[in-house]
Amino acid sequence: MSSVLVRAMLVWLALSVQAAVAGVAIESWESSRGARVLFVESRALPMLDVSIEFPAGSARDSAAASGIANLALRAMRMGSAASGGVPALSEDEISLGLADVGAQLTPSFDVDRAGYALRTLSGERERVRAIDLLAAIVQRPAFLPEVVAREKARVIAALREAQIKPDTAASRAYARLVYGDHPYGLRASGEIDALERIEPAQLLDFHHRHYGVAAAVVSIIGDISREQAREIAERLTSGLPAGVELPPISSVPSLQQAVQRAIRHDAAQAHVLLGAPGMRRADPDYFALWVGNYILGGGGFNSRLTVQVREKRGLTYSVYSAFAPYQREGAFTIGLQTRRDQADEALRVVRETLSDFVRDGPTESELAGAKQHIIGGFALRIDSNRKILDYLATIGFYRLPLDYLDQFPQRVAALTLEEVRDAFRRRVDPSRMATVVVGGIAP
């Protein structure tokens, strides 16, 4: 790409940033008991999207109670207890109540967060009924013994089935190498022996500790007024437990040297994962690393890794790189699948491509092209209420600035070549990576 064309693209970017910003007007306040609330009024459709999340992800497990966070979230929606004259609700009553008003309830879960997202019509009958059911679920879960036993059996059966899969073996070994003893390395669904020991009383205790009102984040977008949003937030949070002040999650230590593990498997393809602890959600290098990774392996068929590993050598159908930003340093990961006899060659090309990128960074034309695609496609990131709801939840949980969506394309457009190069040189060390290959050796 000529320097004249690159300069023209940069001028276009500068002029089009404001057009890319949707101007999502986020309002925020605290509920009467201290929960954080984020709200966007959207009158285009008679719909309401609401989520409520807590610091109750898998990093809050322990080795002795591995899987308790996931099990608690699964079992919460399967019955609520009676309290203060409010009757108990069975699993069927909750399901039928949601179906009666056409509401959809979706769990959300990762290493940091756990909660539920609700979609319902914004009419008073549907809205009130759906919010009441969500409140009952998050405030008064019953954790009945028969329900807990059934859900434990389901999770354990899924874990046993997954144990024979090469991608499961790869991801488990990779997490151990990257995170070591850090809580981010715990298996999200838990370990079978630990799950078998979990009792309903432990789930109640976990709920009382981790689903506290002061740590709750309520996100709301839809066809309602601010006053109606305030009423919804109060309804969802007024009956939550007080919770406890949870200890902060510790930083993820950097790898001190390269580590590699090869696992025998009779899969037709080798599964390869390569990476190390990466960045936090609120990382000062977030945008430089994110845009740089788009060029390296996150931008689809035009990325460096795809060109080198797939297009030039035909070693794989798909190869990717990605950062997983959490409260602490989530992994920077490169992943691919290839023929068993090509695993060594594919890994060699990946490492060479990564080393070249860290040493030299992207070219001026690569950076301009990445900015064009990212900013040009930004509107698609917030083109539905559900996508905006996800952003609201992220902004609220990680305490990002309320104008984050406005800042996003502006920060991307403002990045310089040296900022991207400097971030990768400081933060990504190809000589200190964890590598897992499953199936690349004879069984």
Question: Does position 241 have pLDDT exceeding 90, yes or no?
Answer: yes
Task: List C-alpha distances in Å: 279 to 16, 218, 322, 355, 423.
Answer: 29, 25, 11, 19, 11
Q: Provide the mean pLDDT of the chain.
A: 94
Mean pLDDT (whole number) for 384-401: 97
**What is the structure's pLDDT at 1?**
52
DSSP H helical ranges for 80-139: 91-100, 124-139
Overall average pLDDT of the 317-338 stretch? 97
Give tens-digit pLDDT for 45-71. Answer: 999 999 999 999 999 999 899 999 999
Note the pLDDT tens digit of each residue in 260-301. Answer: 999 999 998 999 999 999 999 999 999 999 999 999 999 988
14 falls in which pLDDT band (50, 70, 90)?
Answer: very low
pLDDT at position 442, please? Answer: 47
Mean pLDDT of 25-44: 97
Per-residue pLDDT, 84: 84
Q: In the prediction, which pLDDT does 2 show?
A: 53
Cα(364)–Cα(370) distance, integer angstroms: 10
pTM over 0.85: yes
Residue 41 scores a pLDDT above 50: yes
DSSP, collapsed to helix, strand or coil, labels residue 188 as coil
Instruction: Identify the three-state secondary structure at position 169.
Output: helix
Residue 360 pLDDT greater than 60, yes or no? yes
State the pLDDT at residue 3.
53
Region 322-331 average pLDDT = 98
Whether 399 has a pLDDT exceeding 60, the answer reads: yes
> Other CB atoms closer than 10 Å to residue 326's CB: what's the count?
22
| Domains detected in the chain | 27-237 (3.30.830.10), 251-438 (3.30.830.10)
Specify the pLDDT at position 434.
98
Q: How far is the C-alpha of 84 from the C-alpha of 87, rounded, in Å?
A: 8
Assigned token pair, 103: 């509401």
Q: What is the pLDDT of residue 11?
A: 46
The mean pLDDT value for 111-133 works out to 98
User: Is the pLDDT reported for residue 221 higher than 70?
Assistant: yes
Q: Give pLDDT, residue 12.
A: 46
pLDDT (tens digit, 9 = 90+) per residue, 169-202? Answer: 999 999 999 999 999 999 999 999 999 999 999 9
Can you tell me the mean pLDDT for 35-48? Answer: 97
The whole-angstrom separation of Cα 90 and Cα 267 is 44
Percent of the chain with pLDDT strictly greater than 70 = 94
pLDDT recorded at residue 20: 45
